[in-house]
Each structure stands twice: as C-alpha cells, then as structure tokens.
Amino acid sequence: MQEQAESDTAAKEARVPMRFSQIDTLRGLAVFGILAVNIWSFVWGFGTLRYGVLPDAATLADKAAVFSIAFLAEQKFYPIFAFLFGAGFALQTASLRQKLSDWSSVRRVYRRRLAALLMLGILHGTLIWAGDILTIYGSVGFLIVGMAGAVRERIGTNLWNWSVVWLALIACNVAMALTAYTDSDPYTLGARLMGEARSTHEAYAYGSLPRLMLQRLIDYTAVTLNSLFLVPHVLVLFLLGIYTVRDGWLTEPQRHASLWRRVCLAGYAVGIPFNLLWATVVLTEAENPFDADAHGLTVYSLLPLGGSFLAAAYVATVMLAAARGSAPLERWLAPVGRMALTNYLTQSVIGVLLLQGFGLGWGRQVADAPALVVPLIGFIMLCQVCFCRWWLALHAQGPVEWLISRYVRRGISRD
C-alpha cells in the first residue's frame, strides 16, 4: 500500500511542471493587477474613456480610485503576464523534453496546449468578456513555437530584433498622435468620446442580453484587431521570459540580486514619473472629455514603454524579496499564481454577474460612485485567495489548468 501511494505521488508530481514560488507569486500579483484594470471595462467597455466619465458630484475618493489604478496598474500587469508566459514556455518545454524523444514531439505537444488556450480565449472573448488576452497569447505562442529552433540558438539576436520593431512601432504611434488632432475640433471630439462611452455603458449596465452580446462581439472584434499592434511587444516579453529562465534570473534570484537591484532602480526611476503623468491625463479626461487632446494621445502612445518600466520594477521587487527569503507575499499570492488561468477566467464571470445588466447590474452604482470599485476589487481578491488555498490543499492544480493538462497529456501518450 505504501509503495502504491508513493508511486501515485510520483506520477502526480510528474504531471505538474517544476514550480518556483517566486514565479507563482508574480503570476498571482499579475492576476490581481489585471483585475484592477479590467473591472472598469465591465462598466464602460474599451473606448478611449476606459474609466468612463466621472459624475459631476465625484468625490475625492472617486478621483483617487481612477488616478491610482491608472498610475499603479494600467499596462503594468499584462506585460508581467506575457513575460511569465514566455518563462512558462521555457519551463514547460524543458519538462516535456524529459518525457519525449525529440524536439519535434515537444513542439507538437506544446502546439496542442496552445490550441486549447486559443480556443479557450475565443470562447472567453465571445461569450463572457470581450477584453480576452488569451487569444493574442495563444496566437503569438504559435509564432514562438514555429521559430523555436532560432529562439534557442539565437535568443539574444531575436530579442534585440523584435525590440527594435516594437520601439519603431511606438515611434510611429507617437508621430501619428502628434498630428492626430490638427484638423479636429476639440469640442466635437469630446462630444464623440462621451457619446461612445455612455452608449457602451448603457449596453453593458442596462442592456438586454441580446444587446449585451452584440456589444461584446463588437468589442471583442475591435480588441482582437487592435491586438495585432501588440504582437511585437508580446513577442519581446515572451522572449525576455524565455531568456530569464535560461540564464536563471527568475529561477535563481539569489544569484542575480545585483542585477535585480539595477532593474528595480531603473524601473522605478523611469516608471514613476511617466505613469504619474499618464494618471493625470486619465483623470483629466475622465473629469472632462472635452479636454482630450494630442498631448494625452501622445502619452498613451508611450504607455506600453512607460508601463513596462514600472512592470519591470514590480518583477524586480518580488525577485529581491525572494532572494532575501522573504515569504509574506508568497503565502498569499503564490496559490493564486498556481491557478492563474482559473482565476483570470473566474474574474470575468464575477464581473459579468455583479456589474452588468444581465447580472446584478452593480455597474450602474459604480458609474455614479467609482470609488466603489476599490472595495469590490479587494473583496474579489480575498475570495480568490481563500478559494485557492482551500483548493490547492486538496488538488495539485486549478480546475482549468487540470483540464488543459489532461488534454495535453493525451498528446504525450500518442507520442
């Protein structure tokens, strides 16, 4: 009986890739950061006024909620998620290499995983929440697998080349932003932005199920097409994640503490001033959309770069804590990170049920008092932390992770 139990335990561990608590902590942090940004889209959709229009009677707390989330969270956590997707690719393919005979078999099995992720993303985006990120991650993942040989042999060159492409795209966006408003009447532009925001809000917070579904499909199509411009950025982050695993930066932070200190210093030094500027732009436009101008669009064009600096600082902070052996964050966030996919999808279901007209319709109250978002985010976080700790005391993986792993294992058994 004891030998059978040991055998079952070994088989269970073999099915789950090697875990690093600091990486799981980062995933948990990213999941909650993404929640803080995404929750607004259940109320206001995905237009230029992503935080909606502040009511005339907005309190200081309402303004602080918009300002702080734009400053600390917007476009800081999806880069971390993408970076960790690349790290996960490196760890998972290394695990597969131990089970499979050659690299071509590894690629076939990993493509199976990506196909499952891509299908899950499409279903998520069309049926639950339009801002799905799994669609673009799955699609870019196929690019990484396709160029896997080149990635392994010349990862530094690939990282540099795609970084140049990404920075060139940012420069083009800035150039277009600087000329975007030369022929536009600010009053007409502000009226259009406000009209689009209120129309989308009415569809999500007040609309019938058919109207909500139509708006979701429109938004998902727009978000997915706009994601094409994210491909160079996501590729850079994926490659960087692979690189940091290969060189042990993520897996052995204690050996690279001096590097992470430099990243931390540079990330905060550049990220804090830029994102303070961005949060000021967001709050100004939320208070009065008629103040939208080329300056705001220019700052937004640079946000992927400025946000990534602060994201890098967050990663470095967690790595330095891991290097020191500090565990408070790990106890709370690592279980959430082990079930990151389950938590990400669950947040969408919760957002629909609580905020949209199809559910309880709390989005109407949030539009009138945006500060209500803060305790709602805290409540969802607490629930997910407690659920993850309970679930992982009984299971090796989250439910969605288990389903994908089971699907992938079928591919392994065929090889």
Please indicate, yes or no, if residue 20 is contained in any of the structural domains: no
In this predicted structure, what is the pLDDT of residue 408? 83
Domain assignment present for 25: no
pLDDT in tens, the chain (415 residues): 434 443 443 343 334 455 688 999 999 999 999 999 999 999 999 887 889 889 988 999 999 999 999 999 999 999 999 999 999 988 888 888 877 777 788 888 888 999 999 999 999 999 999 999 999 999 998 988 877 655 555 777 778 888 888 889 888 888 877 776 555 565 666 777 788 888 899 999 998 889 999 999 999 999 999 888 889 999 999 999 998 998 899 999 999 999 999 999 999 999 999 999 999 999 988 888 776 666 777 888 889 999 999 999 999 999 999 988 867 778 899 999 999 999 999 999 999 999 999 889 999 999 999 999 999 999 999 999 999 999 999 999 999 999 998 888 776 666 5
Residue 402 belongs to a domain: yes
109 assigned to some structural domain: yes
3-state secondary structure the chain: CHHHHHHHHHHHHHHCCCCCHHHHHHHHHHHHHHHHHHCCHHHHCCCCCCCCCCCCCCCHHHHHHHHHHHHHCCCCHHHHHHHHHHHHHHHHHHHHHCCCCCHHHHHHHHHHHHHHHHHHHHHHHHHCCCCCCHHHHHHHHHHHHHCHHHHHHCHHHHHHHHHHHHHHHHHHHHHHHHHHCCCCCHHHHHHHHHHHHHHHHHHHHCCCHHHHHHHHHHHHHHHHHHHHHHHHHHHHHHHHHHHHHHCCCCCCHHHHHHHHHHHHHHHHHHHHHHHHHHHHHHHHHHHCHHHCCHHHHHHHHHHHHHHHHHHHHHHHHHHHHHHCCCCHHHHHHHHHHHCHHHHHHHHHHHHHHHHCCCCCCCHHHHHHCHHHHHHHHHHHHHHHHHHHHHHHHHCCCCHHHHHHHHHHHHHHHHC
Please tell me the total count of domains within the chain.
1
Please indicate, yes or no, whether the overall pTM of this predicted structure exceeds 0.85. yes
Whether residue 10 lies inside any domain: the answer is: no
pLDDT at 7: 41
Residue 14, domain member (yes or no): no
Residue ranges making up the domain that contains 110: 30-414
Residue 13 lies in a domain: no
Q: Is residue 9 situated within a structural domain?
A: no
